[in-house]
A and B are shown apart, each in its own frame.
Chain A
């Protein structure tokens, strides 16, 4: 069965600093991994997806993530945080098989300090 674990329910960075949000996965099959962002009172917006084509995945808003099979990780990074990045971030793995079911991590709330 697939699962994801997000380390750190709250992360705080200064504006302009590196953003690093951690995600580790467990999967019995080659995983499809996703990062989503949720702003207050909104749904989830897709940041990026890993589908085995390349280990370094670039997404929207300057975010990227690197798939490391040896570490079963898919951490999200952004070189320089902006105030508008403050939101909750979710890592998710596709359930595998004939489905689009997503299994989500518990989320990381990112705060950006001026």
Chain B
């Protein structure tokens, strides 16, 4: 079974630009969550999508948004990039039942210049 696939693996942007990250979950998984990992703040929950609906949202500004498609693939968008958005963005998928283990992709490393 293929794991969680995130593209691209690395991305360099400049302040003010926007970016879209993609995540393909494990086949059959209906829940996709996104996390931001930084040295200063650690791992922080961004949002979770289940059956194309946002089920939960973390404490991030509205510049961070996401969506999920009918095939469970998900995208995350960050607009008006700031230097502080530099981070590893991790996507995780699970079956969708509550409190199930999540399976993570290798992440997208976003660097803002």
Q: Enumerate A43-92 residues with CB–CB distance to B below 8 Å.
A: 43-46, 49, 51, 90
- Whether B106 and A42, one on each chain, are in contact in the complex, defined by CB atoms closer than 8 angstroms, is yes
CB nearest to A42 among chain B residues:
B106
B-side binding surface: helix, strand, loop or mixed? Answer: strand
Bound form: Cα–Cα A44–B101 in Å:
11
- Whether A102 and B105, one on each chain, are in contact in the complex, defined by CB atoms closer than 8 angstroms, is no
With a cutoff of 8 Å between Cβ atoms, the chain A residues found around residue B101 in the complex are 34, 46, 49
Question: How many residue-residue contacts, CB under 8 A, span A and B?
Answer: 64
Residue of A42, A46, A101 touching B33 (CB-CB under 8 A): A101
B residues engaging A (CB < 8 A)? 4, 6, 31, 33, 35, 42-43, 45, 48, 55-56, 58, 90, 92, 94, 96, 98-107
Asked whether A43 and B43 contact (CB < 8 A) given A100-B98, A100-B100, the answer is no
With a cutoff of 8 Å between Cβ atoms, the chain B residues found around residue A3 in the complex are none
With a cutoff of 8 Å between Cβ atoms, the chain B residues found around residue A99 in the complex are 48, 55-56, 98
- Whether B56 and A104, one on each chain, are in contact in the complex, defined by CB atoms closer than 8 angstroms, is no
- Whether B56 and A95, one on each chain, are in contact in the complex, defined by CB atoms closer than 8 angstroms, is yes
Bound form: Cα–Cα A26–B57 in Å:
21
Asked whether A41 and B106 contact (CB < 8 A) given A98-B98, A104-B42, A106-B42, the answer is yes
With a cutoff of 8 Å between Cβ atoms, the chain A residues found around residue B42 in the complex are 104-107
With a cutoff of 8 Å between Cβ atoms, the chain B residues found around residue A95 in the complex are 45, 56
Q: Enumerate A16-50 residues with CB–CB distance to B below 8 Å.
A: 32, 34, 36, 41-46, 49
- Whether A51 and B99, one on each chain, are in contact in the complex, defined by CB atoms closer than 8 angstroms, is yes
CB nearest to A6 among chain B residues:
B42
- Whether A97 and B98, one on each chain, are in contact in the complex, defined by CB atoms closer than 8 angstroms, is yes
User: Separation in Å of the A107 CB from the closest CB of chain B?
Assistant: 7
- Whether B55 and A90, one on each chain, are in contact in the complex, defined by CB atoms closer than 8 angstroms, is no
